[in-house]
């Protein structure tokens, strides 16, 4: 499993890090941590375009995106 911790990073960096992880993994499960709604939405969009399913959990100001394929 790959974890991308993009908290504190400005756009478009979280989306780019997520895209790189998706392409590296190919399949499986990836966890992405972001701390803004914009980064969350951009990472969800990137994952969707690449054919990944996304589950979003929010805990104490951090969005946990669980990406599966």
1-15: buried (b, 16+ CB within 10 Å) or exposed (e) per residue?
eeebebeebeeeebb
Give the rounded distance of the alpha carbon of 15 from its chain centre.
Answer: 7
Which pLDDT value is given to residue 60? 95
The CATH superfamily assigned to 2-68 is TusA-like domain (3.30.110.40)
Give tens-digit pLDDT for 14-37: 999 999 999 999 999 999 999 999
Name every residue whose Cβ is closer than 8 Å to that of residue 1 and which is 6 or more positions away in sequence.
28, 29, 30, 31
Q: What is the pTM of this model?
A: 0.95
Q: Enumerate the domain spans of the chain.
A: 2-68
């Amino acid at each position: 499993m790959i974890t991308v911790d993009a908290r504190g990073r400005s756009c478009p960096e979280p989306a780019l890090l997520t895209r790189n992880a998706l392409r590296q993994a190919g399949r499986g499960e990836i966890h992405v941590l972001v701390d803004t709604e914009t980064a969350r939405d951009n990472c969800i969009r990137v994952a969707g375009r690449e054919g990944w399913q996304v589950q979003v959990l929010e805990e104490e100001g951090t969005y946990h995106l669980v990406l599966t394929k």
